[in-house]
Amino acid sequence: MSLLRESLSEIHKRVKQREISARDLVEESLKQIEQVDGQVQAFLKVDAEGARKQADELDQQFANSEHKGLLAALPIGLKDNLCTEGLTTTCASKLLENYTPIYNATVVDKLREAQAISMGKLNMDEFAMGSSTENSGYFPTYNPWDLERVPGGSSGGSAAAVAAGEVYLALGSDTGGSIRQPAAFCGVVGLKPTYGRISRFGLVAFASSLDQIGPLTKNVEDAAYALQALAGHDSMDSTSADVEVPNYLSALTGDIRGLRVAVPKEMMGEGIEPGVREQVRKALATLEKLGAIVEEVSLPHADYAVATYYLIAPAEASSNLARYDGVRYGVRKTGKNLIDLYHETRSQGFGPEVKRRIMLGTYALSSGYYDAYYLKAQKVRTLIRQDFDSIFANYDVVIGPTTPTTAFKIGEKVNDPLTMYANDLCTIPVNLAGLPALSVPCGLSEGLPVGLQIIGKAFDEATILRVAHAFEQETERLVAPVGGLDA
């Protein structure tokens, strides 16, 4: 039986008793990557040398000390928009194919402090812009549940690597659903913390008022461990919240009696596949059986969320991506003069989806259109946040589907951006409101995983973890056909 099948607590116990070593776990991960990544294509770069070196250093530490980090010896993967010192960080873009950071993202340092071992960088939609990982500048990633289907995006490589058992857990980033949507498609757990809960220093920016880093894991308990290791204030990030970090593991009590659950009718109606709706209703019935009180509510401005997001996010992206000019870093194309150099670098370096969003954002911010588009979108964003505030005055969590459909086929929507954008209709409102949310598998529809989205109050990740954990204990664990490792 693979070592990566075992629970985190069991791995900790066996490492402490020296039954297994960090090097054993790394070799197990490398073996799995070699066996299945040719099919799944989750990794952009496997850092075998660095992982083995780190494992040997940890084994030496373990021989001389009883101290073990929260994620001791676990092989993990990193989405390729997280800066890693000495290791290329490309954001899956040809524009950054030669970019090697001189510093680590704060979360990378925190993982190292927790004694996790990075196996390398994972594929994604270019600059995190997409919902299928088909927009990678290098190659698509495939869903371990069905290799003809997408793993979701933009953290598709992260979700696929966990589902295929290549790494124990992975980090992703979530701007409009980019952790939760691929988690739902790949049958794993994906957690988007509250905006500001985890430092974004060293995360290559897409839309700065929306981006948040979070873990993708095999189960809810592992998500709690990861959040415990990553959460906290960071002076290097001006948006990092200086609020207390509770003990997330102690929240996993299994007891949700009396907990009040709101189910927005807008997330269960038109546009939601019948199979997805059925699995979510079964999940809600399970929560009721466990003692929760489930009631229907309304998010009156939810219908405007996708339009609002696709004004705000591209506007911020057009500003953030202006730095990629071929002068300061990244790939430089030749030109007859400076303007020509900019044009050649950006037109050849950026992929079509990134160009589309830059143009959308630049237009929305342009003179004469700012008030009509960007400013109005920010006002609607406030209304969406107020909708959630109103619900949370009477309820503990908001629950619905993570995605309106199960994983779609490769190529099915890539040439239809509006249909692709609508795929995030359940996740986008959470980012606009800055709230925490988690996707947990809740069954299969026609053989493909369905995700249950649990949304909480700001900085109340403990409650959504408690609900997800209680639900998970009542359900059967999903195992992907390609390389999947049961926990």
Q: What end-to-end distance do the CA atoms of the chain give, in Å?
A: 11
User: Higher-confidence residue: 94 or 270?
Assistant: 94
Residue 199 is a catalytic residue = no
* 115-138 pLDDT, tens digit each: 999 999 999 999 999 999 999 999
How much of the chain exceeds pLDDT 70, in percent?
Answer: 98
Examine the pLDDT at 1 and tell me if it is beyond 60. Answer: no
79, 121, 192, 457: the active-site residue: 79
- pLDDT tier for residue 487 given thresholds of 50, 70 and 90: very low
* 24-35 pLDDT, tens digit each: 999 999 999 999
Q: How, if at all, do strands 75-79 and 169-174 pair?
A: parallel
Helix (H/G/I), strand (E/B), else coil: 365: helix
The matching CATH number, chosen from 3.40.50.2300, 3.90.1300.10, 1.10.940.10, 2.120.10.30, for 23-54+69-486 is 3.90.1300.10
Residue 376 is a catalytic residue = no
| Geometric angle at alpha carbon 286, from 284 and 287, rounded to 5° | 65
Radius of gyration, CA atoms only, the chain: 21
118, 178, 240, 439: the active-site residue: 178
Residue ranges per domain, the chain?
Answer: 23-54+69-486
Residue 209 is a catalytic residue = no
Examine the pLDDT at 104 and tell me if it is beyond 90. Answer: yes
How much of the chain exceeds pLDDT 90, in percent?
Answer: 81
Examine the pLDDT at 334 and tell me if it is beyond 90. Answer: no
Q: Residue 485 has what pLDDT?
A: 54
Structure token pair of residue 145: 């549940």
Mean pLDDT over 184-204 rounds to 98
93, 118, 154, 155: the active-site residue: 154
Backbone angles phi, psi at 94, to 5 degrees: -65, -25
- pLDDT tier for residue 383 given thresholds of 50, 70 and 90: very high
User: Higher-confidence residue: 176 or 483?
Assistant: 176
